[in-house]
Structures are given as structure tokens and as C-alpha cells.
Amino acid sequence: MDIYKEKLALIQKDAEQLLAYKTNQSTVVKAGPGSGKTTVITLKIMKLLTENINEPRGLACITYSKDSSKEFSKRLHNMGYQKRENVYLGTVHSFCISQVIIPYSKYYRGPETIFLDIISQTEKKKLFNDILIEKGIGEYDVRIEEMDTERSHSIIGHSNVFVNSNELVRDIASVYEKRLKELHKSDFIEIIKYSLTLIRKEEYVRKCLESKFPWILVDEYQDFGKPLHELILAFLKFTNIKIFAVGDPDQSIYGFNGAHPDYFFELYENFGLLPIELKTNYRSNQDIIDASTVALDIDDREYKAGNRTDEKAEFHFISCKQGLDDQYKYVTETIIPDCLNEDIPLDEICVLVKDKYVLNGLIQEMNYSSIPYHVSKFEFAKSDLVLWIKDCAYWLTENDSGLFEAISSYWIKLLQRKGGLLPNRIKQVEIKKLYTIIKQSIEHKNSFTNWLIHLIKKLNLEKIMSTIEDSKEELDYLTKLKKKAIEGEFETYNLNQFARLGRPDGQVSLSTRHSSKGLEYEVVIMIGMEKGVFPDYRIESIQEKVNEDRRLFFVCITRARRVCYLLMSNQYISRNGNPFTRYPSIFWKDLLKACEDNKFVTNRVTQNY
């Protein structure tokens, strides 16, 4: 509770944060980078549960990812939150399944049918590729993400946001959805669409949800796209549920998943919610803040630094001679040693790259240079089961006493999905067995491989997962994890190394640009700042996609507190061995001009060797 009071005291100094915390009406908060949005929404949850909402009623907090919901759970626990009934914290898909479809679909008599057998990613890709082959469409002409984006934007409801449609992709999506029903399967978009149908058509469903959840909070609203947007608009139109939505349209960078900043703007401007804007950045100095607005090509943002007010930023523009390899080497041989000489620790340095292929090349160079690193995005972040195994490892190695409650809760839910509801007496027996098994597994702490195999065997995990309906994908994740432990990248890990994956500990952070959102470092290094690379040459004539890449560049810059490095190479070698010239990205040029115009501390280096 001390942390709660400490955070509460801090927001008393920020009028916008305090207003968001205190408001008792539906509210939408536009929160710029470093503005403390996570603190605000966490404090809001605590206030609502301790002062406004009496049991047995609760609230729902919808997050963009499972990682985000785990982070919220941890923050709430640290603030003294005591677990209670009817408080939901998780993704929108899980909300729709657990809070809408499972409890209420049996009462619906409409023509629509929902199947809770969720198609796995492998099955979905095969179905999609089969449709492409039938229609004579090349596998690179339409991507599965484009189909899902089209499906998301095409949901009919109360939104007036217009997004361009593609007739070919729309036709593929129509065939896909028909085949999905024929297979008696569903996917996450269908789950939300069916939930919308129940909420819109069934007053009983609306009344039940309204009684259970007087408030629904949404974090990172700009990331969700139309399915979640229509769900929130349905609650606003048909129920008395209050909405507290937080997001930043300037950080809407997941267009390939159906996100679009206009959905946030529509909620902010057109549906009668109280609009609040958090303008103070407590992460970066003013030079970084001013430079980041140049990245957006917008001059009406009024963000100001809340800390480091007298500090100057540094911007370094590095032109390497040839290819990505020269950029990798400049990072490992020059930038990182320079940072260490300035007493900047490794875990305050982050390198941002275009995609996993560039990331793999950088990893090779980091290994060659013996520089410790970690990859920010955990590969298994979409798997509840693997995240649970990671929690078990962390609890065991770090003695995090508060974590076992969440570990045991997940285990009981798993057992009940397998065999039905358990009496309290049996629950306690199973929790005690789980505690003993995990505690005794410490004898395998020196080998993650041995620990994992031991845990799977003692808990009979593979058999349990194989008998639970809709758990094929989780079983696939478990198999993949086991393979990586036996003969892959985790083969040499001890238990502590696995437990701390995603937590930098004296290591440089490596991340793709898209995975960097939410991170912050003293030094941010951006690789691949050439024209045709960022933004990609395939979208240079599509203004909407260029604008999204501008927002992505904005996200990258605002990860930095003080220092930014931008790297490019003047020459590359084509696949047939011929050299060709590369030029700076438009983002590079815009930022360099702004730095020079504003007399920011700017360093330009051109390699000649």
C-alpha cells in the first residue's frame, strides 16, 4: 500500500493525471510518450476497487497483450491489491470468450453460430494458402495479415471511420470465413464479432455485464483496431457501463493487425466522453521531445519535459561505408565502447532494427564481440502456458512470494478445464502438490533443459494439455519450448537465465522497431536508416502507410531519454554481386535538418574505410 500512496502523491503534482484519476465519468485519455499512463490507469483501478465499486461487483481492464496484463497484475499486487471476484484483467479475446460467450451464448437463439475451437496459426496459414492457390494468387501478392486487417475494418457497427478496402482481399476474406465455419472452427476476429452480436441483440447479456462490470478500462486503445472499438461503442450505446480508455494515436503502429489512429480520435472527439490529454513527458529531455514531433511531421503537439529540464540531448548521424555488417561493427566497436567510457551501463543501451532477419545478423556480431545482450520480445509471449512455466522459474529463483498465487490460480484453471469444477478441498490438495513439485525442482537449477523435462513429467503437462479442448496451439508451444531446451538456443541456459528472459541484467537490449513500444533507455541506436528501407520502398507512394512509419519513427525516438544514434550505409551489394548506392531516409533528413535548425547537439560521422 506504501507504493500506492507514493504514486498517488506524485500525481498530485500533475493536474491532467490527477483529473484522470479522480473523474467519475466515462473518460478517454490521450497519453503522450513518458506521460505516466500506466501509473494513471493502475491507480485508477485501485481507486475504483477501494472507493467506488462494492463487492460483488468488479471491473474489467482490457490490455493489448498477455505480457501487458501480467505487468498490470504485478503493479497492482505491488500497490496492495487484494484479489477479489469479478475483476477481469486480460486481452480482449479472452474477455469475449470468458465473460461473454461461455456464460451467455447458450441463451442466444439467433442464426449465428460460434465455435470455440480456435484455429491454430499453422492451420490458419494452410487454409489461407489453399485459398490463394485455388484463386491463382501468388503467396507474396496477399499476406494473411492483409486479410485479417480487411476483416477487422469491415465489421459493421457505430463507427464512422472510413478505411480503404481492397476488393481482392475482401473476396479472399469472405471465402476464408466461410471455410472456417465449415470446419467448425473460429479465430479471434470471429470471437469478437460474435460477442458483439450477443451484446447488441440480447438485453439479458447487457444487463448481466452491466451488473458485473460498472467500469471497463482499456489500455493502449490505439493498438486494437475496429473490433475492440465497436465493442466499446456498443457498451456506450446500449449499457450504463462507464469507459476509461487510455492511448496515444501518435503511437498507432500496428496497421498490419487492423489498428488505425482514427478509431482513437473518434472516441476522443465524438462520443461524449471526457477528453483528457497528458502532455508532460517524464522520460526524455526537451530536445528529444521536440525532435520526436519532427518525426511526426506535425507541429501542434505541446509536450514538455517533466524531468531533466536543463539537459541537452545528443543526436549522432553515422554514415557507414557498406551494408548492414558495417553498421553492426560500428555499434559493437565504437558506439557501445563510447557509452561505457561515459559510464552508461549496457542495460541503458538499446539497438532497434527493422525485422528479425536484421536482428539475427546483429546477434551474430554481438556474439562475435562478446557483448552481453538480450532480445526484448520474448518469443513465446502469446502462450499462456509457456509464460506460466517462466513464472514458475522466476518464482523459484527469485523467491517472489507474491507470484505463487497467480501460478496456483492458473494451475487450478487448467485442471478444471480438463476435468470440470473442483471442490475447495481438492483445490487445496492440488495447490500443495504443485508447490512441492516446483520447490523440489530446484535441484535442476543448473540446467534449464533438465528442469523443464522434470517439470513436464512431474506435472504430467503434455497429457493434460492434450486432453483439454482448444489447447492444441498451447501444446504446440510447449513442444517448441522443449525442442529449444534440448537442442536449441536454451540448451545451455540455467534456470535463472530462462527466468530472466526479457529482463535486461547488464545486457544491451536488442529489439525490432515495432517491439520497442513501452521501453525506455538512455541511449537508442537505430540501424537501417536508408531510403527504401525505412520507409520500405513498397509503400513510399502510399501516404497512409508512410504516415504509419512516421509514427513508428516517433516511437523509436521517444524510447530515448538523452541520446539517439541513426545509422545508414552508403552502399550495398545486390544479390548478383553488384554494388549500388543508398541514400538517407526521409526521416533521417527531416531529423537532421531539425537538429541543425534548433542547434541541438549534433554529430555527423562518415566512414571512409
Q: What is the mean pLDDT of residues 600-604?
A: 85
Per-residue model confidence (pLDDT) at position 109: 82
Residue with cell 465449415: 182
Per-residue model confidence (pLDDT) at position 192: 94
3-state secondary structure (DSSP) of residue 303 = coil
Spatial separation of the C-alpha atoms in residues 88 and 283, rounded to whole Å: 30
Per-residue model confidence (pLDDT) at position 374: 87
**Percent of the chain residues past pLDDT 90, beyond the cut:** 72
Q: What is the mean pLDDT of residues 476-499?
A: 89
502 is written with which cell numbers?
526479457
Residue ranges at the known binding site for ATP: 31-38
3-state secondary structure (DSSP) of residue 150 = helix
Spatial separation of the C-alpha atoms in residues 134 and 142, rounded to whole Å: 13
Q: Phi, psi (5° rounding) for residue 393?
A: -65, -40
559-579: pLDDT as tens digits: 999 999 999 999 999 888 899
Kind and range of the H or E element at 214? none
3-state secondary structure (DSSP) of residue 465 = helix
Q: What are 262's strand-pairing partners? A: none
Alpha-carbon 461 to chain mean position: 27
Share the mean pLDDT of the chain.
Answer: 91
388 is written with which cell numbers?
506460466
* Pairing outcome for strands 560-573 and 579-581: antiparallel
3-state secondary structure (DSSP) of residue 141 = coil
Domain ranges for the chain: 3-107+197-278, 121-189, 286-378+503-606, 384-500
Is residue 373 within 8 A of residue 509, CB to CB? The reply is yes
Task: Tell me which range, 4-13, 202-211, 468-477, is most confidently predicted by mean pLDDT.
Answer: 202-211
Per-residue model confidence (pLDDT) at position 1: 54
Per-residue model confidence (pLDDT) at position 451: 96
| 383 or 335, higher pLDDT | 335
Spatial separation of the C-alpha atoms in residues 450 and 494, rounded to whole Å: 9
Residue 78: CB partners within 8 Å, gap ≥ 6? Answer: 3, 402
Label residue 229 by pLDDT band (50, 70, 90): very high
Residue 457: CB partners within 8 Å, gap ≥ 6? Answer: none
Is residue 601 within 8 A of residue 312, CB to CB? The reply is yes
Of 436, 455, 435, 434, nearest to 499 (Cα)? 455
**Percent of the chain residues past pLDDT 70, beyond the cut:** 99
- For residue 594, pLDDT beyond 80: yes
Per-residue model confidence (pLDDT) at position 172: 96
Residue with cell 559510464: 343
Label residue 244 by pLDDT band (50, 70, 90): very high
Residue ranges at the known binding site: 31-38
- For residue 107, pLDDT beyond 60: yes
Per-residue model confidence (pLDDT) at position 401: 66
- For residue 608, pLDDT beyond 70: no
Spatial separation of the C-alpha atoms in residues 479 and 340, rounded to whole Å: 40
Q: Phi, psi (5° rounding) for residue 368?
A: -60, -35
First to last CA, the chain: 58
Label residue 50 by pLDDT band (50, 70, 90): very high
Of 396, 393, 422, nearest to 409 (Cα)? 422
Is residue 222 within 8 A of residue 29, CB to CB? The reply is no
Fold match, 3-107+197-278 / 286-378+503-606: yes
Q: Is the dihedral of CA 55, 57, 61, 66 positive or negative?
A: positive
Output b/e per residue, 195-216; b: 16+ Cβ within 10 A.
Answer: bbbbbbebeebbebbeebbbbb
284-331: pLDDT as tens digits: 999 999 999 888 877 677 899 998 888 999 999 999 999 999 999 999
Of 395, 356, 375, nearest to 70 (Cα)? 395
CATH label, 286-378+503-606, candidates 3.40.50.720, 3.10.129.10, 3.40.50.10190, 3.40.50.300:
3.40.50.300
66-91: pLDDT as tens digits: 888 888 888 888 888 888 889 999 99
CATH label, 3-107+197-278, candidates 3.40.50.300, 3.40.30.10, 3.40.50.720, 3.40.50.12590:
3.40.50.300
Angle at CA of residue 70, ends 284 and 487, nearest 5°: 100
Q: What is the mean pLDDT of residues 330-343?
A: 97
- For residue 42, pLDDT beyond 70: yes
